[in-house]
Amino acid sequence: MMTWRIGTVISTGKAWRGARELEVTLDRPLPGARDDGATGPVTVRALAYTDLVGDPATGDALLLNVSALARGLGTGGYALVVGPASAGTTLPPDPEPGPGHLVKARYTPLQSMVLGVDEQESPHHATLADADTLDGMPVVVADLHSALPAVVAGLRHAPGGSDLKVAYVMTDGGALPAAFSRTVAALRDAGWLTTCVTVGQAYGGDLEAVTVHTGLLAARHVAGCDVAVVAQGPGNLGTGTRWGYSGVAAGEAVNAAATLGGRPVASLRVSGADPRDRHLGISHHSLTAYTRVALAPADIPVAAPTPDVERLTGWGDDLTRRIRAQAPALTTTPAGHILVDVPADTTLLDTLRTSPAGLRTMGRGLDADPASFVTAAVAGLHAHHLATAPATAPTTA
């Protein structure tokens, strides 16, 4: 929730690289009665990030985010400058007073204050205060947001899959607002997702949490979910280097799931159509995240397409050979991941086509790059097996 004000600069103060302090008068008081006995305009400190909003001068009217000040939070202690205020600007009303002092997108002009599921004001604080286990809950990890609907389709494909309660734990490697994702909205509206938990700097989920760890614990102990899917929000930062991509956090999510007694399932990023050689077959992003960052063992499902799937999709022998040549590297790491062959038949393609969310990755749909979505879907299929028959999960070295 945000609290907005328009402020007029009455003086400029200290400046340092990229920032300047200001003294501003607000167009109206902050929420709550003044207790200092003073009258007249309310004066507060403001901070302008000059590379973003310019360098305001005395007399300028500014749009301010005063959420932290309104809640009396000491850290930062500033109204944050969003930009110039136009004449006649109408601001939304102040949010209703309520609990929650967890700040997301912290110290940015658009920082947002939410009620964290794990903070002291939450009704779930006692549940999570000493929570330390996921009770064996399968946790599917993927590095791209576009894998989410395919993983969920795989979960629902198996008999009884629609009965599973599924949480999406959205990390902050891509978009920060959950509302940016039409995929999440469509899956929630259709009942394919039980809850969305936004963690780190991401915000706007059904539940808000500080870390991936408390997000997973909330999915299990607050939302009562059977399976969680962890992936960044829409968007992906990549630089064409081994380490410079936001999906590296997939390896850390494997570690978090294992640390909490979950059953990590590492979904591979696979493509048969990407024009970049480093992403053909198993993407170098998956190889780095799971062989170099993940220190705990995970099950890694590998799709075994039936001849009908190969014929209908153009999934050729060259792609299968490439994947089979790359996959063993995932098992020789200190983590000791386990490769799991999961058959993929035409009925899985049919289920993918029923997804209420559009299937699209890097501009390609299911027909253009079936390997991407089938591989994510078999991770969901395997997670379903772990959730419903944990004692007999099939694995192959």
Question: What amino acid occupies position 215?
Answer: G
The C-alpha atoms of residue 224 and residue 220 are separated, in whole angstroms, by 5
Say what the pLDDT of residue 393 is: 43
H-state helical runs in the chain: 50-53, 67-70, 125-129, 148-157, 182-189, 212-221, 249-259, 284-288, 307-313, 317-326, 346-353, 370-388
The tokens describing 131, both together, are 């929570």
4-112 matches 126-392 in fold: no
The C-alpha atoms of residue 301 and residue 382 are separated, in whole angstroms, by 7
The C-alpha atoms of residue 367 and residue 357 are separated, in whole angstroms, by 15
**pLDDT greater than 60 at residue 185:** yes
Give me the sign of the Cα torsion angle 287, 200, 2, 66: negative
CATH class name, domain 4-112: mainly beta
Question: How many Cα atoms sit within 13 Å of 332 on the Cβ side?
Answer: 5
User: pLDDT digits over 10-45, tens only?
Assistant: 999 999 999 999 999 999 998 864 455 566 789 999
Say what the pLDDT of residue 97 is: 79
The domain segmentation of the chain, as residue ranges, is 4-112, 126-392
Provide CATH code, domain 126-392. 3.40.50
Average pLDDT over residues 362-366: 92
Say what the pLDDT of residue 33 is: 45
How would you label 354-391 residue by residue, b for 16+ Cβ within 10 Å and e otherwise? ebbbebbbbebebebbbbbbbbbbbbbbbbbbbbbeee
Residues 309, 373 contacting (CB under 8 angstroms)? no
Phi-psi region of 309 (alpha: psi -120 to 50; beta: other; left: phi over 0): alpha
The full DSSP string for 193-204 is: -SEEEE-TT-B-
Read off the pLDDT band of 73 (50, 70, 90). confident
User: pLDDT digits over 365-387, tens only?
Assistant: 999 999 999 999 999 999 999 99
Following CA atoms 195, 354, 385, 323 in sequence, which dihedral angle do they give, to the nearest 10 degrees? -110
User: pLDDT digits over 263-274, tens only?
Assistant: 999 999 999 888
Question: What amino acid occupies position 241?
Answer: T
Question: What amino acid occupies position 56?
Answer: P
User: pLDDT digits over 99-116, tens only?
Assistant: 888 899 999 999 988 999
Read off the pLDDT band of 148 (50, 70, 90). very high
**pLDDT greater than 50 at residue 51:** yes
> First CA to last CA across the chain, in angstroms?
49
Residues 102, 116 contacting (CB under 8 angstroms)? yes
Residues 124, 118 contacting (CB under 8 angstroms)? yes
